[in-house]
């Protein structure tokens, strides 16, 4: 059944709640919304925002480059995957910004460890016990510090001392379709249980693979998020989990389907928020990128540098931020990956600081306590 839960940390997390709010506060309560969409599985930024103007690009990517032959150009260097039609329209309206050659401090290639670093804001895996998005709630006014997770379980980024709600199905077994159908038949005669079970099944599908059901589930998730965020007394912060980005094989078709789902999610979110979209910022980020070279099965393996997105009416978009290192072999990280030249934590801190009116240095210190002392990126909103 649907379970709207709250998560309140104790012990060391409680101490963090005492300290964090004193570090920095937003200037005043606003109507702004913030959405974090995590791409679990390491999305290939080179196949989302392609550096078609790089002299080494075509040779490095082989057949992958064919997907960008007629793709919309963002500037002289970069083109956007053609599956991202709604996102491209936002870019034309200066409501989409891309940051490339970006990465968290994590430099190994484990999904679990990389996601932990991304979500906790630590310099290494399991260094920090709560999430940067939960710590951000301590920097906001009480009216703004209302967050919700749209995920099967409470994601690490939202765990911590500040109360957070969730909208998801209770833990259901990874059962066969036949078993799920039999349970549905069992509940069919009970009006209350049948309704609850149907809602649980619908919600269970929302946070899965972006390509599922031709992207309809992803669009439904965007519509759900908008429904929870749009009311004046609704949530102000939301996190949406997405999966299916681990493209070791058959990447061209799989990633196109994933991006179509993401595009539908963004479009539904914008449509559902209506006038609130003007005060909304959406961050899309993944744990790390993928290799520059294509492997023998038409996919890519775990890499380092990638791309992130900022979308929304509150974003100063229409541009790509990149200190581009190039794709020549000599320029690659460990001779295989896109070399990161921008800190993802600096982008996140700068985005949240500019969006909510928080001093950049204080936001950086609060959200990324194990960081490397970098400066928050400015001028994002």
Predicted pLDDT at 212: 72
Half-sphere exposure of 116 (CA within 13 A, CB side): 15
| Residues 6 or more apart whose Cβ sits within 8 Å of residue 215 | 257, 260, 261, 263, 264
In the prediction, which pLDDT does 315 show? 98
- Separation of alpha carbons 356 and 234, rounded Å: 17
Which of the pair, 205 or 369, is modelled with greater confidence? 369
What digits encode the pLDDT tens for the residues 233-242?
A: 999 999 999 9
Question: What mean pLDDT do residues 324-352 have?
Answer: 98
Least confident of 26-40, 144-158, 283-297, 334-348: 26-40
Query: Which residue segments constitute the domains of the chain, with CATH numbers given?
Result: 2-367 (3.40.720)
Instruction: Locate 336 and state its tokens.
Output: 């295989």
Given a cut of 80, is residue 50 above it in pLDDT? yes
Q: What is the CA radius of gyration of the chain?
A: 20
For all residues of the chain together, what is the average pLDDT?
87
pLDDT at 153: 87
> What pLDDT is attached to residue 370?
75
* Backbone φ/ψ region at 295: left (φ over 0), alpha (ψ -120 to 50), beta: beta
In this predicted structure, the answer to whether residue 164 has a pLDDT above a threshold of 90 is: yes
Q: Looking at residue 200, what is its pLDDT?
A: 52
DSSP string, 36-60: EEEETT---GGGTEE-TTSTTHHHH
Residue 84 near residue 259 (C-beta atoms within 8 A): yes
- The helix or strand, by DSSP H or E, that contains position 351, with its residue range, turns out to be helix 344-356
User: What confidence score (pLDDT) does residue 32 get?
Assistant: 96
pLDDT at 251: 98
Q: What is the DSSP string of 14-41?
A: HHHHHHGGGT---SS--S-EEEEEEETT
């Amino acid at each position: 059944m649907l379970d709207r839960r709250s998560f309140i940390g104790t012990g060391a997390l409680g101490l963090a709640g005492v300290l964090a709010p004193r570090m920095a506060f937003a200037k005043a309560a606003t109507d702004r919304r913030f959405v974090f969409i995590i791409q679990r599985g390491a999305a290939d930024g080179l196949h989302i925002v392609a550096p078609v103007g790089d002299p080494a690009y075509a040779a490095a990517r082989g057949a992958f480059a064919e997907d960008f032959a007629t793709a919309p150009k963002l500037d002289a260097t970069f083109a956007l995957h053609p599956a991202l039609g709604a996102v491209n329209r936002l870019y034309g309206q200066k409501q989409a910004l891309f940051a490339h050659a970006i990465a968290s401090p994590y430099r190994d290639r484990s999904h679990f460890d990389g996601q932990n670093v991304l979500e906790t804001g630590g310099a290494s895996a399991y260094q920090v016990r709560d999430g940067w998005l939960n710590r951000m709630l301590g920097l906001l006014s009480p009216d703004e510090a209302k967050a919700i997770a749209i995920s099967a379980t409470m994601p690490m980024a939202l765990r911590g001392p500040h109360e957070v709600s969730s909208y998801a199905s209770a833990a259901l077994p990874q059962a066969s379709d036949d078993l799920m159908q039999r349970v549905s038949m069992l509940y069919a005669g009970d009006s209350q249980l049948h309704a609850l079970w149907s809602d649980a099944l619908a919600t269970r599908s929302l946070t899965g693979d972006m390509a599922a059901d031709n992207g309809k589930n992803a669009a439904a998730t965007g519509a759900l998020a908008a429904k929870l965020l749009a009311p004046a007394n609704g949530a102000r912060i939301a996190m949406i989990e997405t999966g299916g980005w681990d493209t070791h094989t058959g990447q061209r078709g799989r990633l196109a389907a994933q991006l179509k789902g993401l595009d539908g999610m963004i479009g539904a979110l914008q449509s559902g928020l209506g006038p609130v979209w003007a005060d909304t910022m959406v961050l899309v980020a993944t744990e790390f990128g993928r290799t520059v070279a294509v492997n023998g099965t038409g996919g890519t393996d775990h890499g380092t540098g990638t791309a992130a997105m900022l979308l929304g009416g509150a974003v100063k978009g229409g541009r790509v931020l990149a200190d581009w290192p190039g794709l020549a072999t000599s320029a690659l990280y460990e001779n295989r990956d896109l070399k990161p030249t921008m800190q993802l934590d600096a982008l996140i801190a700068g985005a949240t600081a500019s969006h909510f009116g928080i001093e950049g240095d204080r936001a950086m210190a609060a959200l990324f306590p194990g960081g490397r002392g970098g400066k928050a990126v400015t001028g994002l909103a």
